[in-house]
Amino acid sequence: MRRKSDKPIKITEVCLRDGSHVMQHQYTEDQVRRVARELDEAGMHYIEVSHGDGLGGSTLQYGKSLVDEMKLIEAAVDECKNSKVAVLLIPGIGTVHELKQAHDLGASLVRVATHVTEADVSAQHISMARELGMETLGFLMMAHMAPPEKLVEQAKLMESYGAQAVYVTDSAGALLPHEVKERIAALRDSLSIEVGFHAHNNLSLAVSNTLAAIEEGATRIDGSIRCLGAGAGNAQTEVLLSVLDRMGVNLGIDIYKMMDIAETIVGPMIPRPQEINRGSLVLGYAGVYSSFLLHAERAGQRFGIDSRDILIELGKRKVVGGQEDMILDVAAELAKARKQEV
């Protein structure tokens, strides 16, 4: 494999954070301990643990956590001998107070996430994380909604606040391979820090997009084992690692062990298979935040509406990550309009 960066690739397993959406935030301490312990043994580089919407995300808007995320973070740290525990922080949802708490419990990396055009809300959190001595990365979400030039402008802001890498985050799983390439290339050319890529598999492109990103120089890469992430999941970690291995890139993570964890631990834990169903396909097709899927399905049932209609309408209204309240609002509106038509 020809890569445009000579830095080592570092993988972050996100099933205990992004997968929290699929688990409807009902992870038990036991599950987290078991998954973290096994991933650590497999040699995973980073393991992200937080509510699906990041620190402080346990809300009526996004779903309440069964177990306080701080307890889960503490448990994961306790289980990991080599892997580092990472957390997600979305300014506007979580604050520096939760970040400090997670850091005190042993989290050593944070991804500070904003909508792709709103990087300037992350300044205080990025600088605080650096002060705490955490590895600090920026996460530009819904990257398909802005052209590469805008992405560069926003990534530079995060770099100026102290971020040590910036991710192109395809929250909707809507980016096509050439769009991933141009975005990663643009960041690689204009930043002096590392570039990362976070995929969603809604259009069945997560692994191929991730390969395209790596070729263009991305070195911070996310995956979810057994696709345990919002929507149709992320780049399936054990698949991605196997493909990279075939291409001559060995990351020091035990592939057989990853397959076993997927098969015997994570698979049985997942409430339904993480396949691309019509709901997750529409997320990618309409460019909608992946965690909206289950909320839209529930709202569709409640109001007797096809959840695809809700998602398509949300895409038209250019709704951004975190606006889960719009799902109920739009569903109620569509139901009312239907009634009037009849």
Partner 1 sequence: MVKIKAAIIGSGNIGTDLMYKLERSEVIELTAMIGIDPESDGLKRAKERGYLAYDNGIEALKHNPDLAEIVFDATSAKTHVRHAKVLTELGKLAIDLTPAARGPFVSPAVKTDTYLDEKNVNMITCGGQATIPIVHAINSVADVSYAEIVATISSKSAGPGTRANIDEFTITTRRGIEEVGGADKGKALIILNPAEPPILMRDTIYCEVKNMDEAAITRSIKQMVETVKEYVPGYRLKQEPLFDGSRVTVFLEVEGAGDYFPVYAGNLDIMTAAATRVAEDFAIHMLEKQSVETKG
Should residue 84 be labelled a site residue for partner 1 when binding is judged by CB under 8 A? no
CA atoms within 13 A on the CB side of 50: 30
d(CA 85, CA 50): 10
Residues in a beta bridge with 141: 115
- For the question of residue 21 being annotated catalytic, the response is yes
Residues in a beta bridge with 84: 46
Should residue 322 be labelled a site residue for partner 1 when binding is judged by CB under 8 A? yes
- Choose, by CB under 8 A, the member of 96, 134, 137, 141 that binds partner 1: 96
- Choose, by CB under 8 A, the member of 20, 201, 224, 323 that binds partner 1: 323
d(CA 41, CA 151): 36
Residue with tokens 């598999």: 201
Q: Which among 21, 45, 125, 295 is annotated as catalytic? A: 21
Q: Please state the closest distance from residue 121 (CB atom) to partner 1, in A.
A: 5
In Å, what is the CA distance from 15 to each residue of 21, 49, 177, 234, 236?
Answer: 9, 8, 23, 9, 10
Should residue 91 be labelled a site residue for partner 1 when binding is judged by CB under 8 A? yes
d(CA 84, CA 147): 33
- Choose, by CB under 8 A, the member of 9, 66, 265, 328 that binds partner 1: 328
d(CA 151, CA 145): 9
DSSP 139: E
Comparing CB distances to partner 1, the nearer of 84 and 295 is 295
Binding mask 218-257 for partner 1 (x = CB under 8 A): ----------------------------------------
d(CA 145, CA 175): 9
Comparing CB distances to partner 1, the nearer of 95 and 204 is 95
- Binding site, annotated residues for substrate: 17-18, 171, 198, 289
The residues of the shown chain that bind partner 1, judged by CB under 8 A, are 59-61, 91-93, 95-97, 115, 117-118, 120-121, 123-125, 317-320, 322-323, 325-326, 328-329, 332-333
Which active-site residues does the annotation give? 21
- Binding site, annotated residues for Mn(2+): 18, 198, 200
